[in-house]
Amino acid sequence: MPEERRKAQRRDGARRKAERRTAERRTSPSGDERRVSERRDGAEHRKADRRVSVGHRLDLILDITRQLMSITNLDALLRQMAVATTKLLDADRATIFIVDRDKNELWSRVALGRGVGEIRIPVGVGIAGTVAKTGETINITDAYADSRWSSDSDKRTGYHTKSLLTFPMTGQNAQVIGVFQVVNKRGGPFTQLDEETLASLGASAAVAVENAQLIAEQKRLWETLIETLAVTIDARDQQTAGHSQRVTRYAEVIGKAMGLEGLDLEKLRAAALLHDYGKIAVRDRFLQKPGKLDDAEFAYMKAHAEKTGEFLAHLEFPRDMRDVPVMAAQHHERMDGHGYPRGLPAEQILVGARIVAAADVFDALTAPRYYKPAYPLSKTLEIMDGMAGNHLDPGVMTAVHRCVHDLEWTLDELKHTWPKPGDEGMGSIQEAAGLSERDRAGSGTAGPAASGPGRGGA
């Protein structure tokens, strides 16, 4: 009996094992089924990864858009767009072209990795030119296999272009206003997703570019208006022809030597161009009188500085340029408080006005006038050094000496704007009674030859 029970138990154990194996086979997938399941799981993971990637790109596009909308300088905007595009598409290089309708060309001063310098391409020529003409995207996996591609840039720089994605930037009027060109995607050719991403970025970039272009056009209109006003004043008096232009150039050189840049330099330039605008109120018989002015005439002539401030106050200057009229009107004030029109103490004279004053004297001395020849640079600096402290700001004079070589180069460049002997109002050196009031003040000259004020040196 015990033996029969043991055999029966072994049979029951074997049967239960067989049943378990059968059950496992029924519930476990086959090899094919496992492979299908693994593929399905992989596809789902890839879809999830793609959703994460797309979401990340959208976040980047929104962040880039916010950055672009805050930039109003066109060159800075194009550089930021190029940097953002290479990062967004994981590419090596990018160039952002703008369409110049007047010349029917594409231009860019921003080409990452290609060095400094402006690039110009006729619309319809090359890949970028073709995109500008047709408005269609061109995605190339092998640039050298495309007949539209020019390898001149690669030959010149030693770079090797492989893949290219070139995309049109369309403005509000449905015209192509620019072109993105992205080069050499890392890890393979540009994809459909890259094209979609660039399309999303291009829409907001176009708005930013058109805004920056509008601001640039308004700024240029403003600059040409100021330049025209200055030229109009200089044209009234042949013996100071080109004076405002020269004072502006000298003021820019001195301002840069003092560390001015950006908006501060723009304000200085505007004030220098307009510093004599009040002369429009001076009658021709005083403004164009040959020889020296008497005391009463000179007192009348000095009113031009106050008139400059009065007249310019009627112009609606941009908010960040509203001290330009004050700066222009103060250019005859002195550090000792004995200047005109208001006799301001030094601490109330704007830095820009102090620079314009120095540039004004520099031109009055280095350019020929009806009462004197053009002084050499050494004599000019000697006279101006004598004016430092009482008349001119010593800090400005330090900057003048620091940038003297740049001033000398600018002086030589501008000699063609000097009035010529025989020009109306120039007279001759022999007709002059001596140095002007400003020159006498600087050089300490006295005596009969120095009697009688000039036309204010500037």
Query: What's the average model confidence in pLDDT over 27-49?
Result: 50
**Token pair of 121, please?**
């391409």
Query: What's the average model confidence in pLDDT over 22-40?
Result: 55
More confident residue, 400 or 426: 400
Q: How many CB atoms lie within 10 A of CB 33?
A: 10
User: To the nearest whole percent, how much of the chain has pLDDT over 70?
Assistant: 71
In this predicted structure, what is the pLDDT of residue 265? 95
**Token pair of 233, please?**
């004043």
Q: Give pTM, 2 decimals.
A: 0.63
More confident residue, 174 or 133: 133
In this predicted structure, what is the pLDDT of residue 209? 84
**Token pair of 209, please?**
């570019």
Domain coordinates in residue numbering, the chain: 2-26, 39-208, 237-450
How far apart CA 215 and CA 318 sit, in angstroms, is: 12
Choices 3.30.450.40, 1.10.150.530, 3.90.1710.10, 3.30.70.920: CATH for 39-208:
3.30.450.40
Look up tokens 């194009």; give the residue: 78
- List strand residue ranges (DSSP E) for 161-320, in order: 164-170, 176-185
In the predicted structure, residue 454 carries a pLDDT above the cut 50? no
How far apart CA 363 and CA 240 sit, in angstroms, is: 10
End-to-end Cα distance, the chain:
138
Q: Is 423 exposed, middle or buried, given 0-12, 13-18 or 19+ CB atoms closer than 10 A?
A: middle
What counts of helices (H) and strands (E) characterise the chain?
Answer: 17, 6
In the predicted structure, residue 451 carries a pLDDT above the cut 60? no
Least confident segment among 27-36, 68-77, 156-165: 27-36
| Region label for 349, one of left (φ > 0), alpha (ψ between -120 and 50) or beta (otherwise) | beta
Confidence of residue 10 (pLDDT cuts 50, 70, 90): low
Query: What's the average model confidence in pLDDT over 130-152?
Result: 88
Q: How many CB atoms lie within 10 A of CB 57?
A: 18
In this predicted structure, what is the pLDDT of residue 252? 97
The answer to whether the beta carbons of residues 302 and 340 sit under 8 Å apart is yes
For 406, residues 6+ apart whose C-beta sits below 8 A from its C-beta are: 253, 257
In this predicted structure, what is the pLDDT of residue 363? 95
Q: Among 247, 251, 244, which residue's Cα sits nearest to residue 266?
A: 251
**Tens digits of per-residue pLDDT, 313-369?**
777 787 888 898 899 989 999 999 999 888 999 999 999 999 999 999 999 999 987
Confidence of residue 193 (pLDDT cuts 50, 70, 90): confident
Please give the CATH architecture assigned to the domain spanning 237-450.
Orthogonal Bundle (1.10)
Length of the chain: 458
Average confidence score pLDDT of the chain: 78
Could you tell me which residues are beta bridge partners of residue 95?
111, 181
**Do the bridges between strand 138-140 and strand 119-122 make them parallel or antiparallel, or are there none, so unpaired?**
unpaired
**Token pair of 324, please?**
């330009």
How far apart CA 381 and CA 452 sit, in angstroms, is: 24
Confidence of residue 89 (pLDDT cuts 50, 70, 90): confident
**Tens digits of per-residue pLDDT, 155-175?**
877 888 898 999 998 888 888
In the predicted structure, residue 32 carries a pLDDT above the cut 60? no
How far apart CA 184 and CA 367 sit, in angstroms, is: 56
More confident residue, 58 or 170: 170
The answer to whether the beta carbons of residues 372 and 361 sit under 8 Å apart is no
